[in-house]
Amino acid sequence: MCPTPTVDGKRRLDAGFSSAHDFSLVLGGPLYQLLQATRLSGEALDLLWRRILFISLLCWLPLFVLSALRGRVLGDPSSVPFLLDVEVHIRFLVAVPLLVGAELLVHQRMRMVLQQFLTRNLIGDDTRPRFDAAVASAMRLRNSVLAEVLLIAFVYGVGVLIVWRQYMALNTATWFTAADGPGGRLSLAGLWYGYVSMPVFQFLLLRWYFRVSIWARLLWQVSRIDLKLMPTHPDRVGGLAFISGTAYAFVPLALAHGAVLAGFIANRIFHLGATLPQFKMEIGAVVAFVECLVFGPLLVFVVQLSRAKRTGLREYGALAARYVREFDDKWVRGKATTEDELLGSGDIQSLADLGNSFEVVRSMRLAPITRDPIIQVGVAALLPLAPLLLTMMPLEELLRRLFGIIF
């Protein structure tokens, strides 16, 4: 026997609906609470510039000071000086602000997305409990202390000791090593770089990957619900086109990836004699990775959209066949019409409208992804690499070629 719903139970259900209305991918977690406690963030992610300045300077300023104390800011000819290490400046003065600033944009652009499933009646009354459970599960995961602790452990166990030391650090004498040769013992600046600055950057980046995984998991759970998709919806994705707009919120994340890659390549061009074409595989891989990161979660709706399209083609095909047959009997063959005829007073216009509806169903896309967001995210990832074209040809020649293409 089912228990009678209590007032508390109703309140919990209402809270579930409210969380769907105001779900945020970024308002939660230990770091968010720490930033609030230290007055670096408000409840709605205000104080953005204060937060950006503090985190960026925490990563960059001690490196400058410690390098200056050892005379390795600019004038050390035996190693790469600090001010000429392009990768460091781009990573901490460009990429980190983008990663921090992206939170506000994602919060503003995505907080009302889940509400659209309800206001557009895509979720039925019988499936709302599953929808609310999925939202509540995503919020618990977003607020998880264990998740961020594991991210920190991964950063220090893998990100610093393996990824940075073995694959990312320049293979030459630099400002952050105590010895003159590559791979030498870290100086004080190097210790701060390796155990404070890099971990902060890597944690911010991995935290974004974790959030995107939460978003993908939530969309996957929603896609398992029987959505009330409309094959004749003019957006040609059954009414789900509003989801594709979330891609614009991740543009700063794409810019940050492009900036990190640009700094990585610039260091190797300026200090190791590499050329830009040598990195075409890396550039293509980063662009592909960012596109998959942003648009991959939207592919979970392919199954339901495919089913809705097949159903729409079948049902509207049968309706069109019946309508055309009665239209032919009435206007071409002059046969008497039946009492329950499908035709109305504006037969020709109705026939055209039916054809338009069938064409909408036929051209229905199988994923809520459009061309413009794909191009914008790709351009955002490539934009920071544009200045590196000057390493291949003078600015005058580059401008002449661009004007030649455009005009």
Same domain, 242 and 196: no
Residues 282 and 381 reside in one and the same domain: yes
Which tokens is 373 given? 């967001």
Tokens of 59: 């990563």
Q: CA–CA separation, 215 vs 23, rounded Å?
A: 11
Domain annotation covers residue 115: yes
Is 159 a member of any domain?
yes
Report the pLDDT value the prediction gives residue 2, as an integer from 0 to 100.
42
Mean pLDDT by 10 residues, the chain (407 residues): 42 45 84 91 88 95 91 74 90 96 90 87 91 92 94 86 64 69 71 91 95 95 92 88 89 96 91 89 95 94 92 82 71 60 56 72 87 93 91 66 61
Looking at the fold, whether 369 and 266 belong to one and the same domain comes out as yes
Q: Are residues 194 and 277 in the same domain?
A: no
Single pTM value for the model: 0.84
Residues 77 and 181 in one domain: yes
Report the candidate in 211, 394, 199 with the shortest Cα–Cα distance to residue 293: 211
Last residue of a domain, one of 213, 243, 262: 213
Domain annotation covers residue 218: no
Q: Both 200 and 236 in a single domain?
A: no
Look at residue 82 and tell me if it is in a domain. yes
Q: Tokens 């919060």, residue? A: 107
Domain that holds residue 380: 229-407
Establish if 79 belongs to a structural domain: yes
Q: Please check whether residue 219 lies inside any domain of the structure.
A: no
Residue type at 27 in one-letter notation: L
Domain count, the chain: 2
pLDDT of 165: 62
Query: Do 253 and 295 contact (CB within 8 A), yes or no?
Result: no
Is 5 inside any structural domain? no
Of 213, 238, 261, the last residue of a domain is: 213
Amino acid at 270: F
- Predicted confidence at residue 1, as pLDDT, reads 38
Q: Are residues 254 and 206 in the same domain?
A: no
Give the per-residue pLDDT at 265: 93
pLDDT at position 263, please? Answer: 93
pLDDT at 113: 87
Question: Is residue 336, in this structure, part of any structural domain at all?
Answer: yes
